[in-house]
Amino acid sequence: MASQPYTPKPVTDIFTSTDTAINRRECRRTVPMRVLALGLGRTGTASLRTALKELGFDDCYHMMSASVENPPDCLMWSDALAAKYDGKGTFGREQWDQLFGHCQAICDWPCVAFAKELIEAYPEAKVLVTTRDVDSWHASTMKTVHWRATEPELKLVAKFDWAASMYQPMLSRFWTCFWEGDFEKNGKRRFREYYEEIRELVPAENLLEYKMGEGWQPLCDFLDVPVPEGKKFPRTNDTDGFVDRCRRRNRMQMLNVVFRATVRPDIHAPIIDLTILRPELVTPGYIFLAPYRNVDPGPYIYDNWGNLVWSYAGEAGPKTAHVPRVCSYKGSEHICFFEGEQHQGFARGHGVILDRNYRVVKTVDSAGAGASADMHEFKMTPYSNGTSVLMTVYQPRQYDLTLNPRFNVERGMGWAVEGVFQEIEIETGKVLFEWRSLDHVDPSLSWTMPGSTDTSGDGLTEDTPWDYFHLNSVDKNIEGDYLISARHVSAIYKLSGDDGRIIWQMGGNSPTITTTNFVFSYQHHARWLSENATHTTLSFFDNASNGFNTSNEFSHGWIVAIDHVAGTATKTREWGAPEPEGGLLSGSQGSMQMLPNGGCHIGWGEHAHFSEHTADGSAVMYGKLADRDSNVMIYRSNKYNWTGLPPTNPAIWTYSRTGETMAFYVSWNGATEIDRWSFYTADSANGDFTYFTTVRKTGFETEHYADSMRDWSFAEALDKHGRVLGSSVIARTFRPNQLLAPFCNDRGCDQAERPPDEKLVPYEAEVLLNPDYLSPNRGFETSNYYMDDPVNDTDTHHPESAVNNEERGRGRDIFLVIVGALMGFGIMTVGLVLRSHGALKSLEPLAEGVGRKTVEMAESVSRSVRGSSGVLGGYARVAGQEDGPRVGGRGSGLA
C-alpha cells in the first residue's frame, strides 16, 4: 500500500498551470527503455536530457519531471526511497514501468540513487554517465541542489502547496540518504564511490563516460544514431539563475494557496504576487479590485503590501462583481460596484452601494424600457453631489442587417446590441438622461464585424446579437456633457448633454479629431482630466488589440491633449507594463486611474495584473493575481483611501498541540485601522479573563505563538492610539486527541482522509466515546459567545492600561470638568458683581486666570474623550499620512 495517497491537483493552482497531475501508479509502459544516463546531477544532465530528446529518445526522465512537470511522481519516488532505505514495501520492474513507462531514457537524480536497481530492471538499455571535475561539481551542487534540498522557504511552502507537499519531503529524504546525512562533508567521497560502483556494475565496453563539451559525436556513436545536422549541442540549467528560478517557483506555489485563512476558512481570496514594490514611492491608499472566474469572485480590498484587507465574499458569499470604488453618497464615503451575472463580454445586474460598515444601503437598477444594467460602468455622476449614477445597458434589438453586404447576414431579420447609457436618480430611480448608440452611430462604422471575435456575436439570433458598439465607459463634465468610449468602433466621443449629438469624435471611422503621434484601438476607461473652450486633456487605456487585430505591440495607459482649434490630438504621457519583454498586450478590459502625485494606477484587464507608476513612468508596484492561462480576469482596478468599520466581531482560533504551548490566529475582515491585537485568557468560558500579551497586526491574519497555554481566549483589536476597536468571540483552545495528535504540528493538523473501504466503521457499530470530546461538553456558554465589554481590572496586567484607565475615567473627568466650570462661572460672576461696585479690584487677575484654566481644562478633556474625530464616543479615523487627499476625489482630476 502506498505511503501517501494520490490527490488531484487543486483547481486553485492557477499560477503553476503547466504542472500536470498524472497518477503514475495507474500507468503502464508504452515505449521501450533504451538509455540509462546515470551520471550525478550537476554534471550536465539537463543538457543531456535535451540532447537525448533531440536524438529521438523521448521522453527522457529528469528531476524536473517530478519537481515541476508532474509533481505526483514524487509519491512513487517516496515509495522507492522507503523500500530501499527503510525496507518498507517493494519497488521493482512493475513500479519502474509505472513511473517511467512513457520514457525511453532516464537521467539525473533521484534516479542515481537506484542505479543498481535500474540496471537490473532494464538490462537491454545502454548505460552512460556524465561526469566532471569533482571539486567544481561539489561547488556547483552546494550552490544549487544542496541549497534547494535544505531551503527553509521550500519547507514552508510544502506545508501549504499541493506540489511542494509531495516534492520537498521526497527531495529531503533522497538528499539525506544518498549523502549519508551530510553532503558538504561526504559529497566528494560519495561522488568517487558512486562512479566506481557504476564501473563495477557495467563492463567498460558497454559504458560511455561523457563530459559536457565533447559534442554530439561520441554520444551518437555510442547510441548508434546519426549526428543532427546543423544543431549545436544544447546547454541548459546553468548555475546562474538556479536560485532565482527556484524562488520564483516558491512564489508561484504560494500564490496557488488561495487565501484559506485559519480563522476564516470561508475566505478564499487570491494572493497577490508583488513582483515590483517600492514602498517609499507608492501612493498611500488601498487597492480595490474584483477578480472573476476565480474561486470566490467579488470585490476585494488589499493594502500596499499585497495583504488582504476585505473580502466581500467573506460577508455576502461569492458573486461576480466589477469595479469596486470609493464613492460619495449622502455626504459620506461609500463603496460602489456592479454586481450581477457574467456573460461573454458583458453582464446583467445592478449597482450596489455599501456604507463604511460594508452594509448594503442601496441598490440601483437601470430604468426605462430596456434590459438590466451592464458591468462596464456604474459610478456616481460627477458634480451631482452623489444624487445620481451613470450606468451602461447592453440592449439587444432586432435590426435589419441585410442592408450592408459586409455584415454577411441575409434572408431574415438580424439582431444587434445597442450601446445604451443612463443617468439615474438614486433615490427615485428616475431616468435623468438616456443615450442610445443606434440613434447616433451607424453599425457600418464598426471595426468588429458579426461573428469575427469571441465577443462580437453573429447577429443571427436574439441569443447571439451582434455587439457592434461595445460601450465601456461614461464620464460627465461640469457643463453636463458626456464622454464615452466604445471598444468595437475604436472611438471616444464627446456627447451633448442636451440632445445626445456627437460634439467630437477621436479615433475610429469618420473621426473629427486627427491623432498626430499615436494610433489607438479597442480602448477602455476614457476620463476627462481638464477641459476649456479650446483644449481638452483626457486619459484612457489603449488596449491596441482585441485579441484578433492589433495596432500596437503593447497596451498602454495614455494622456492625450486635444487642440480643438487645430482639430488635433497629441499623446503627452505614456505608461506600460513593467514586463521583461517591454510590455503587455491586453486584448480586453483594462483601466487607468490618475493619482494625486501625477502618477497613475493601471489595471491590465484580461491579465489579472495591476501596476502603479510615478509621473516619470517608473513602476513602483506591479501585482499579479493570476496568469493569463487561468482565465481569471479583472475588468478594472483602482486605488483609494478608505476607512472600514465592519459590524462583525473579530474572528479568533487558538490551538495547542501539546497542552504546553499555544498558537493564536486572529483576523477581522474589512477592518482598516487595526494596529495591534491584545489577547486575554481564562480557564473557563465565563471565567476571570486576564491579559496575556499584545502583538502587532501582521497581514490579514495575525499568528502568535506562546510558551504557555490556557483553555479559553479572546482578542481585542486596538488602533495605533491603543483604543479598543472591537472584541472577538470567546474561543476554546483546540487540543488534538491521541488519535489525531500524530498528524498535527505546532501550526495545526493535516487535512483528514477517508479510511480504505475495508476499514470503514459501519453506522450500527458500538462506539465508546470519551464524554469530554462530545461537542456539548466543550464548555461553551450560549449566552456568552462574545466578549463585548472592556476587560475589568486590567490596570496591573495590560501595558495599554493607561488607555483603559483613561476610557474608564472619562466619566469622572467629565464630572470634574462640569464642577470646575460651574465653580469658574461662579467665581467670574462674583468678580464681575464686585467689579461693578469697584470692590476687590486687586483680585480681578486671579479670577480671569481661574476662568482661562477652566476653559483649557474643559477643552483638553473634550479632546481626550472625542479622539481625533470630534464626535463624542464615536470611532475616530486615525489622522496620519493616509489622510491626504482621497485618491480619486474630485478636484484632483481622478476617475
Whether residue 11 is contained in a domain is answered as no
Angle, helix 242-256 to helix 162-178, in steps of 10 degrees: 140
- Regarding whether 433 and 335 lie in a shared domain, the answer is yes
Whether residue 794 lies inside any domain: the answer is no
pLDDT (mean) for 9-34:
85
Mean pLDDT for the stretch of residues 448-462: 94
β 105-106/35-37 pair status: parallel
Query: Is the predicted pLDDT of residue 818 greater than 50, yes or no?
Result: no
Residue 415 lies in a domain: yes
The CATH number of whichever domain residue 148 belongs to comes to: 3.40.50.300
pTM over 0.85: no
Are 107 and 187 in contact by the 8 Å Cβ rule? The answer is no
Question: Which CATH number covers residue 660?
Answer: 2.60.40.10
Concatenate the DSSP letters of all residues of 70-85 into one string. Answer: -TTHHHHHHHHHIIII
Averaged pLDDT of the chain: 86
Helix H or strand E segment including 250? helix 242-256
pLDDT band of 258, cuts 50, 70, 90: very low
Residue range(s) defining the domain that contains residue 856: 801-876
Other Cβ atoms within 10 Å of 831 Cβ, number: 20
Residues 669 and 635 in one domain: no
Are residues 848 and 774 part of one domain? no
Shared domain check, 841 and 750: no
Shared domain check, 198 and 76: yes
Confidence of residue 157 (pLDDT cuts 50, 70, 90): confident
Is the pLDDT confidence value at 851 over 50? no
- pLDDT confidence tier of residue 859, bands split at 50, 70 and 90: very low
The proportion of the chain whose per-residue pLDDT surpasses 90, expressed as a percent, equals 71
- Same domain assignment for residues 139 and 181: yes
Does residue 118 sit in the same domain as residue 196?
Answer: yes
> Quick check: 641 and 886 in contact, CB under 8 A?
yes
Give tens-digit pLDDT for 547-599.
999 999 999 999 999 999 999 999 999 999 999 999 999 999 999 999 999 99
Position 784 confidence tier, pLDDT thresholds 50, 70, 90: confident
Backbone dihedral region of 699: left (phi > 0), alpha (psi from -120 to 50 degrees) or beta? left
**CA 176 to chain centroid:** 36
d(CA 639, CA 91): 57
CA-wise closest residue to 292 among 606, 11, 621, 610:
606
The number of domains in the chain is 5
Cα–Cα distances (Å) from 882 to 304, 306, 307, in that order, read 12, 17, 17
Would you say residue 15 lies in a domain? no
451: left (phi over 0), alpha (psi -120 to 50) or beta: left
Residue 474 near residue 484 (C-beta atoms within 8 A): yes
pLDDT of residue 238: 63
Say whether both 82 and 147 belong to one domain: yes
Specify if 613 maps to a domain: yes
Dist. CA 582–CA 603, nearest whole Å: 17
Q: What is the pLDDT of residue 240?
A: 63
| Angle, helix 844-866 to helix 801-836, in steps of 10 degrees | 150
Cα(579)–Cα(733) distance, integer angstroms:
47
Residues 675/720, Cβ–Cβ less than 8 Å? yes
pLDDT at 11: 58
Write the pLDDT tens digit of every residue in 394-422.
999 999 999 999 999 999 999 999 999 99
| 254 band by pLDDT with thresholds 50, 70 and 90 | low
Single out the residue in 427, 456, 475 at which a domain terminates: 475
- 36 & 135 share domain: yes
Cα angle, residue 91 at apex, residues 85 and 94 outer, rounded to 5°: 165
Smallest CA-to-CA distance from 53 within 247, 194, 228, 309 is with 228
Instruction: State which of 596, 621, 642 marks the end of a domain.
Output: 642
Cis bond upstream, residue 110 (ω within 30):
yes
Burial class of residue 133 (count of CB atoms within 10 Å of its CB; 0-12, 13-18, 19+): exposed
Residues 236 and 166 placed together within one structural domain of the fold: yes
Torsion, Cα of 388, 394, 398, 399 (10° steps)? 90
| 506 belongs to a structural domain | no
**In the predicted structure, residue 712 carries a pLDDT above the cut 90:** yes
Grid cell in block for residue 51 = 540532447
* Residue 22 CB coordination number (10 Å): 15
**530 and 678 both lie in a single domain:** no
Tell me whether residue 778 is in a domain: yes
The span from the CA of 297 to the CA of 575, in Å, is: 28
Question: What spatial distance separates the first Cα and last Cα of the chain, rounded to whole Å?
Answer: 61
- Kindly state whether residues 309 and 327 are assigned to the same domain: no
Residue 508 is assigned to a structural domain of this protein: no
Q: Are 160 and 257 in contact (CB under 8 A)?
A: yes
DSSP 840: S
Nearest 5°: phi and psi at 749? -120, 160
The closest alpha carbon to 33, from 104, 98, 127, belongs to: 104
What's the maximum distance between 2 C-alpha atoms anywhere in the chain?
130
Cα separation, 671 vs 476, whole angstroms: 33
